[in-house]
Amino acid sequence: MVDIIIMSGNATEQQISAVIEKVKSLGYDVNLSRGKEKILIGIIGDTRGLSEETFISFPGVIDTISILRDYKLVSREFHPADTEIAFNNFTINSKHIVIAAGPCSVENKEQMLESAKFIKKCRAKILRGGAYKPRTSPYSFSGLGKEGLRILKEVKEETGLAIITEVISPEDVDIVEDVADILQIGARNMYNYRLLERVGKSKKPVMLKRSFQATINEFLNCAEYILKEGNTKVILCERGIRSFDSQFTRNCLDLNAVPVIKKESHLPVFVDPSHGTGKRELVIPMSRAAIAAGADGLIIEVHPNPENALSDGFQSLTFDLFEKLMEEIEKFATVMGKTL
């Protein structure tokens, strides 16, 4: 079995093309990754019947590698360098801590504009806010829908902040990506394979949240669905898993996942300490811990008046607490050799 063909960094374009043409002639797609010393050609498809002897004799080929995992495109073997996702005025990468913040749900324009202006002043780069909200109870507030998207678009135009908002069905992707800079797939939809395949065809970056009952292997395989469709701009988000103790926290924030995923995958990793703990007083300490664990960013719930929030007010930070959070994590970012 062959999953990756390693070629010399000095291989000619003709030699590289010859290998790629051979791979494609066998019915596979390819992923080309160029480094200074090596060139990697990833083979996309079921490679269990593919022999290394098919390629090892090609000029410029050094070696072949078999990946013994279910996921390939997500793996660091397939793509050794960290994935970077560039926006107009910031980049998600391993050199910076990027903060997304805002209310759980879009309630009205005044609430969103006030939140956006404040988080921007505190140097957050992304405004979060749900227009569509899948809820545990059918009687809970489930979002403003298209009206919420209209509000997000207006706030984006007035503040210049990037927007992340959730999409909950394949049919809604077109209207959501017209507003959103990042499409969010929530924890409840991590296993929605039709939705994963649909956002995989989008040109917009996707934040995939880990389901609260998912193993890391399952999480990475769901990301594979998105990359397989052609969208390589994927952000993985740890947002807590369900445990046996719900007295003190809403979920168990699995910060083990951060270094594990950074080792296994090239994709950037965010942490959601708001859902991960479900407790306002735990958001700041767990944000510090997330940065120390190696997270590339945080997504935080912030509300002008959490006590009157239509959803998740109990875990949303006040403006004062968010300002304190930004001050504290900057110190941790500096220790980790990163900047806000």
d(CA 196, CA 155) in angstroms, rounded, equals 27
Q: Which residues pair with 270 in a beta bridge?
A: 237, 297
Is 182's pLDDT higher than 90?
Answer: yes
For residues 299 and 279, give the distance between their C-alpha atoms in angstroms, rounded to a whole number: 15
**For 31-53, how does the pLDDT look when each residue is reduced to its tens digit (9 = 90+)?**
999 988 899 999 998 887 898 89
Could you tell me the pTM of the whole model? 0.89
What is residue 334's predicted lDDT score, i.e. its pLDDT? 96
Among 29-38, 160-169, 194-203, 220-229, which stretch is predicted with the lowest mean pLDDT? 29-38
User: Residues 206, 201, 171, CA angle at the centre, nearest 5°?
Assistant: 85
pLDDT at residue 36, rounded to an integer? 82
The predicted-structure confidence for 81-113, as pLDDT tens digits, reads as follows 999 999 999 999 999 999 999 999 999 999 999
Average confidence score pLDDT of the chain:
95
The dihedral sign for the CA sequence 107, 286, 251, 232: positive
Residue 5 scores a pLDDT above 80: yes
Nearest Cα to Cα of residue 300 among 244, 340, 247:
340
| Tally of CB atoms within 10 A around 67 | 17
Read off the pLDDT of residues 300-337 as tens digits, 9 standing for 90 and up.
999 999 999 999 899 999 999 999 999 999 999 999 99
Domains of the chain: 4-65 (3.30.70.1140), 85-335 (3.20.20.70)
Residue at token pair 């017209």: 178
**pLDDT at residue 149 in the model:** 97
Residue range 65-77: mean pLDDT, rounded: 88
Confidence of residue 251 (pLDDT cuts 50, 70, 90): very high
Question: Distance (Å, rounded) from C-alpha 307 to C-alpha 185?
Answer: 27
Q: Could you tell me the two tokens for 238?
A: 């740890």
pLDDT recorded at residue 139: 61
State the pLDDT at residue 42. Answer: 93
Reduced to 3 states (helix: H, G, I; strand: E, B; else coil), residue 1 is coil
148-197-267 Cα angle (round to 5): 85
* Structure confidence by residue, pLDDT tens digits, 129-167: 999 977 667 667 668 999 999 999 999 999 999 999 999
